[in-house]
Amino acid sequence: MDHPRRGALHLLDPHEGNRFPHPGSRKAVIDLVLIGLTRFLVGGQAHWIGASPDTRQRIYFANHASHLDTLLIWSALPRLLRGSTHPIAASDYWGKGRVRRHIALKVLNAVLVDRATQGPPGAALAPLRGVLAEGESLVLFPEGTRGTERLPGPFKSGLYWLSQEFPEVELIPTYLDNPSRAFPKGTFLPVPISCTVRFGAPLSRRQGEEKDAFLERARAAVGALASDPVA
């Protein structure tokens, strides 16, 4: 399957039917402000363990512990990668309110998904497939909802199906340390606790591997980064 590589991608906002562009000067200013605030309050320093920043197409898949997670990963990526990397964000949170929605769609280049989507199997993956078909990268939280434990819970099947349909895309396990302490459930503002983002070695594909085995191996790859020493 041939997919176009880099270039200006214009995503369709599925909630409004409006196309939105990539960077402008106003967006660049908001970028800097958000990154500055994120790093000032909770750090969000990136540690590349077994991988390095690269423009190749990737799916970064991470544990999910707080509403801060999307910002943490986005701010940890180099500027060169942020414009072509699209976090998958829940519309019931990031789609609420003009400011939050503007940040999600116009600044973070996020793809909003409705977690309550009904329809045939795989229907919820349609906007994600669209991004990958354009040669762009994704940030996924395969647990599907925020967890309360340090290690990730069971992964939903979306990562498996995308990995099968787009075998050339690199799969990068990503671990977020401390976000649930920095932004506990029910709080309005983050607590100034240092967080880190750890990017692991690409997850290999195994011929004939069953879905459940793949998802457990992917989950273990994220969990393994929790105990890796940081220099």
pLDDT for position 119: 60
**What is residue 10's predicted lDDT score, i.e. its pLDDT?**
35
Residue 230 lies in a domain: no
Determine the pLDDT at residue 72: 87
- Over pLDDT 90: what percentage of the chain? 38
Angle at 142 between CA 139 and CA 143, to 5 degrees: 135
| Domain at 39, CATH number | 3.40.1130.10
Give me the pLDDT at residue 128, please: 95
Any domain includes 36: yes
Q: Is residue 5 part of a domain?
A: no
State the pLDDT at residue 112.
Answer: 87
Helix (H) or strand (E) holding 112: strand 111-113
Q: How far apart are CA 168 and CA 199, in angstroms?
A: 19
In-domain check, residue 2: no
Burial class (CB in 10 A: 0-12, 13-18, 19+), 230: exposed
pLDDT band at 22 (very low <50, low <70, confident <90, very high): very low
Q: Is residue 231 part of a domain?
A: no
What average pLDDT does the segment 158-175 reach? 96
Burial 192-214 (b: 16+ CB within 10 A, else e): eeebbbbbbebbeeeeeeeeeeb
Amino acid code (one letter) for 167: P
pTM for this model (two decimals): 0.77
Between 205 and 229, the more confident residue is 205
Pick the most confident of 15-19, 90-94, 169-173.
169-173
Per-residue pLDDT at 68 exceeds 70: yes
Q: Does the pLDDT at position 145 exceed 70?
A: yes
Q: Which of 35-49, 81-95, 155-169 has the highest mean pLDDT?
A: 155-169
The larger pLDDT score, comparing residue 112 to residue 228, is at 112
Dihedral sign from CA coordinates of 199, 161, 141, 75: positive
pLDDT of amino acid 139: 96
187: containing domain = 12-224
The average confidence (pLDDT) of the chain is 78
Q: Do the domain assignments include residue 1?
A: no
Query: Does some domain include residue 141?
Result: yes
* Residue 209 pLDDT > 50: yes
Residue 13: pLDDT band (50, 70, 90) is very low
Structural domain count of the chain: 1
Residue 210 is predicted with a pLDDT of 97
Element housing 217 (H / E):
helix 211-224
- Indicate whether 7 belongs to any domain: no
Over residues 106-132, mean pLDDT: 80
Can you tell me the mean pLDDT for 51-77? 90
- pLDDT score for 107: 80
